[in-house]
């Protein structure tokens, strides 16, 4: 075992005597994937050092705060302080650890102080990394991916190989089936984990593929970082198989993906929820077998290169989003995930459901110019505007299509007044998400969910939801903000408070369509600006997290209900993006391989 101990980072500098002393004192403990090494609240009576495999640290509230790999200590803080365990530590693969009791640790450290030095160096390194990334952990790609079929089905012909080829565009990727298992490999989890570990250390990404061998299937389930479940969208039976029942609990929700395949691209997408309900995955993807681009998109997600767009709210100003997305697509930058607030949710949702940028722009024109969806006033009890035309247009344009049945991944953001929190729409009718996300307080009535939650415009709390996108996937994101100098536009140097019109003068001016002598903010302007102020600090922090920030040119005089300027603003944004792609290396790197 001494040669194995020398591979542990904490003991790399130990001499042979120190390694031999550690070998005599330490006990090898094998932990199968999915099992717990330590539990919250237990007495910290032993120190563990990971020899092979990987563990994750989970707080009592379910939040995963760290991963621990080979060569790192486990439970050292509680061990040294003499306290109890402060979190659960669970194996994410078949793993092995060196276990040292307190008595044995004190004895060998007295003889070989370098052992303590090595452990403390490993602890310091972990704390330094934790300090550098003290915010919530972003999504990151797996190095070992386990792929299994759903509901006892089989993989379509060449399906896994096509996925492997797409992942291999990012790094060397090897597909392993039961036929690749070395002859004579012991059945114990430690030997299997060491075999995978050697290949992983060579820099390869591994794709472990289920087959007819039950023992192999359970081994790869216990040793993957991510689980990919492959299901036929139109399959008759969608219940979980025995293999799924075994594998799914071994993975955190954040590490589960469902891929729903269908034969042809022109086939409509429906029924996704019946597959999703019992599998509780973080992401799912739709893949027609006759579409190479869909395989490429899944490959980008699995290797951490999926492109996202985050679209800010801003009413009619959001027509610029259409030009931004059109500019990206025309210049070879595929969009894999759409997310946005208010107008950003509306524009992103339209493209995510398969509309072209031109169709989306026409849709906005038909809704807001022809149908005058935001022009009908009502008695100001629940809102200033009557939402019925708007709701009818949303239903007509978006239908009852569920977000789960969109061909591309999408989320919209609204503000939950019931819970005082951000509400992320990932399921349910798309038009509900667009309606809730754009419910300007007092201008439109709030949207009420089936659970009774009261939702208003997402811009109240998060007008640029970058963090939600970063938590949803690994890979670069283009963040589109609609103005970066709104404050100066609100400096009304020639307006006096005394110019505020009384009710009778307002009535006469409205009847005779007179414009005021001095500019004074309208109710819509005040409300939209108030939301920007409320979420200003969140917006600034979000923009700091942007991989690429775009602020397309928008006329300073344009208001949030000026939909008649949509075509002009969209075209200006398209040209702006084309120019930026030529200038920015980050944007060029997002182009499809």
How far is it, in rounded angstroms, from Cα 335 to Cα 368?
Answer: 26
Burial label for 542, CB within 10 Å (0-12, 13-18, 19+), is buried
DSSP letter at 429? Answer: B
Segment holding 77, helix H or strand E: helix 76-81
Say what the pLDDT of residue 134 is.
41
The whole-angstrom distance between residue 530's C-alpha and the CA centroid of its chain comes to 28
Question: 221-238 burial, b for 16+ CB within 10 Å, e for fewer?
Answer: bbbbbbbbbbbbbebeeb
113 burial class (0-12, 13-18, 19+ CB within 10 angstroms)?
A: exposed
Q: Which residues contact 38 (CB under 8 A, 6 or more apart)?
A: 44, 48, 74, 75, 85, 88, 89
pLDDT tens digits along 360-405: 999 999 999 999 988 888 887 788 888 899 999 999 988 899 999 9
Question: Three-state DSSP class for 240?
Answer: coil
User: What would the two tokens of residue 130 be?
Assistant: 């934790």
The confidence score (pLDDT) of residue 191 equals 84
Considering only the C-alpha atoms of the chain, give the largest distance between any 2 of them, rounded to a whole number of Å. Answer: 98
Contact 468, 133 (CB under 8 A): no
- Give me the residues paired with residue 341 across strands: 413
Pairing outcome for strands 308-311 and 226-232: unpaired
- CB count, 10 Å around CB of 263? 13
What pLDDT score was predicted for residue 535?
54
> Tell me, what's the pLDDT at 534?
57
pLDDT of 122: 58
pLDDT tens across the length of the chain (593 residues): 555 565 555 566 667 777 777 778 888 899 999 999 999 999 888 888 888 888 999 988 888 888 888 878 887 777 776 778 889 999 998 998 889 888 888 887 787 777 776 666 655 555 554 444 444 455 678 899 999 999 999 999 999 999 999 999 988 999 999 999 998 887 777 788 888 888 887 778 999 999 999 999 999 999 999 999 999 999 999 999 999 999 999 999 999 999 999 999 999 999 999 999 999 999 999 999 999 999 999 999 999 999 999 999 989 999 999 999 999 999 999 999 999 999 999 999 999 999 999 999 999 999 999 999 888 888 877 888 888 999 999 999 888 999 999 999 999 999 999 999 999 999 999 999 999 999 988 889 999 999 999 999 998 889 999 999 999 999 999 999 987 655 556 666 667 766 777 777 777 766 767 777 666 677 766 666 666 665 556 666 666 666 899 999 999 888 888 999 999 999 999 999 999 999 999 999 999 87
DSSP-assigned letter for residue 484 = S
CB 385 within 8 A of CB 374: yes
CB 22 within 8 A of CB 11: yes
pLDDT in tens, 231-240: 999 999 999 9
Q: How many CA atoms lie within 13 A of 332 on its CB side?
A: 9
What are the pLDDT digits (tens) for 283-341? 999 999 999 999 999 999 999 999 999 999 989 999 999 999 999 999 999 999 999 99
Query: HSE-up of 569 (CA within 13 Å, CB side)?
Result: 29
Determine the 3-state secondary structure of 239 from DSSP. coil
| pTM of this structure | 0.84
- CA gyration radius for the chain? 28
Long-range contacts of 60-66 (CB under 8 A, 24+ apart): 60/87, 60/88, 63/136, 64/137, 64/252, 64/254, 65/137, 66/126, 66/130, 66/137
Exposure letters 5-40 (e unless 16+ CB within 10 A, then b): beebbbbeebeeebbebbbebbeeebbbbbeebbee
Could you give the C-alpha distances from 160 to 145, 164, 225, 240, in angstroms and in order? 12, 6, 17, 20
User: CA dihedral defined by 418, 424, 428, 431, rounded to 10 degrees?
Assistant: 90
Round to whole Å and give the CA distance between 474 and 445. Answer: 36
> What is the rounded distance in angstroms from the CA atom of residue 329 to the CA atom of residue 544?
25
> How high is the pLDDT of residue 380?
78
**H or E stretch at 76:** helix 76-81
Do 300 and 593 meet the contact criterion of CB atoms below 8 Å apart?
no
Residue found under tokens 């509780």: 280
**Three-state SS for 272?**
helix
* Per-residue CA distances from 58 to 51, 86, 249, 252, 439 (Å): 20, 9, 15, 10, 37
Residue ranges in 427-565 assigned as alpha helix (H): 430-437, 466-472, 486-489, 503-511, 523-534, 536-544
Closest Cα to residue 350, out of 183, 362, 33?
Answer: 362
Closest CA relative to residue 29, chosen from 245, 190, 141: 190
For residue 96 the two structure tokens come to 């092995």
């Amino acid at each position: 075992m001494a040669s194995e101990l020398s591979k542990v980072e904490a003991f790399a500098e130990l001499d042979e005597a120190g390694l031999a002393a550690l070998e005599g004192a330490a006990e090898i403990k094998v932990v199968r994937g999915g099992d717990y090494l330590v539990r919250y609240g237990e007495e910290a009576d032993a120190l563990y050092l990971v020899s092979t495999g990987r563990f994750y640290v989970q707080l009592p509230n379910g939040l995963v705060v760290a991963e621990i790999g080979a060569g790192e200590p486990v439970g050292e803080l509680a061990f040294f302080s003499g306290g109890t365990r402060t979190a659960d530590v669970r194996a994410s693969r078949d793993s092995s650890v060196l276990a040292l009791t307190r008595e044995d640790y004190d004895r060998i450290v007295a003889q070989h102080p370098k052992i303590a030095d090595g452990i403390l160096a490993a602890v310091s390194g972990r704390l330094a990394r934790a300090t550098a990334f003290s915010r919530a952990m972003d999504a990151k790609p797996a190095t070992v991916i386990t792929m299994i079929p759903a509901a006892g089905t089989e993989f379509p012909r060449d399906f896994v190989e096509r996925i492997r080829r797409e992942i291999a565009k990012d790094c060397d990727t090897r597909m392993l089936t039961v036929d690749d298992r070395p002859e004579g490999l012991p059945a114990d989890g430690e030997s299997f984990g060491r075999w995978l570990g050697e290949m992983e250390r060579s820099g390869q990404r591994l794709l472990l593929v289920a087959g007819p061998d039950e023992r192999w299937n359970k081994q790869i389930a216990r040793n993957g970082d991510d689980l990919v479940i492959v299901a036929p969208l139109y399959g008759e039976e969608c219940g979980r198989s025995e293999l799924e029942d075994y594998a799914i609990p071994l993975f955190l929700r954040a590490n589960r993906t469902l891929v729903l395949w269908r034969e042809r691209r022109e086939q409509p997408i429906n029924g996704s929820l019946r597959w999703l309900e019992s599998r509780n995955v973080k992401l799912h993807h739709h893949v027609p077998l006759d579409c190479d681009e869909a395989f490429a998109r899944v490959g980008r997600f699995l290797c951490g290169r999926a492109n996202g767009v985050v679209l800010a709210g801003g009413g009619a100003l959001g027509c610029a989003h259409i030009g931004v997305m059109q500019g990206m697509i025309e210049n070879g930058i595929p969009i894999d995930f759409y997310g946005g607030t208010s107008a950003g949710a509306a524009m992103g949702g339209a493209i995510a459901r398969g509309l072209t940028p031109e169709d989306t722009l026409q849709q906005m024109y038909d809704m807001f110019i022809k149908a005058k969806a935001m022009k009908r006033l009502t008695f100001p009890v629940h809102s200033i505007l009557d939402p019925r035309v708007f709701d009818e247009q949303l239903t007509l344009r978006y239908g009852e299509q569920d977000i789960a049945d969109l061909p591309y991944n999408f989320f919209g953001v609204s503000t939950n007044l019931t819970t005082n929190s951000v509400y992320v729409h990932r399921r349910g009718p798309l038009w509900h998400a667009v309606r809730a996300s754009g419910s300007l307080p007092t201008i439109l009535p709030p949207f009420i969910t089936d659970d009774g939650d009261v939702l208003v415009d997402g811009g109240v709390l998060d007008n640029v939801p970058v963090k939600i996108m970063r938590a949803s996937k690994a890979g670069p994101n283009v963040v589109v903000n609609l103005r970066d100098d709104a404050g100066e536009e609100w400096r009304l140097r020639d307006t006096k408070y005394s110019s505020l019109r009384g009710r009778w003068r307002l009535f006469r001016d409205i009847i005779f369509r007179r414009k005021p002598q001095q500019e004074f903010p309208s109710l819509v302007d005040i409300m939209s600006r108030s939301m920007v102020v409320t979420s200003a600090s969140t917006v600034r922090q979000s923009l700091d997290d942007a991989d690429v920030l775009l602020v397309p040119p928008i006329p300073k005089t344009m208001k949030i209900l000026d939909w008649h300027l949509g075509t002009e603003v969209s075209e200006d944004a398209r040209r702006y993006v084309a120019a930026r792609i030529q200038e920015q290396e980050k944007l060029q790197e997002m182009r499809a391989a």
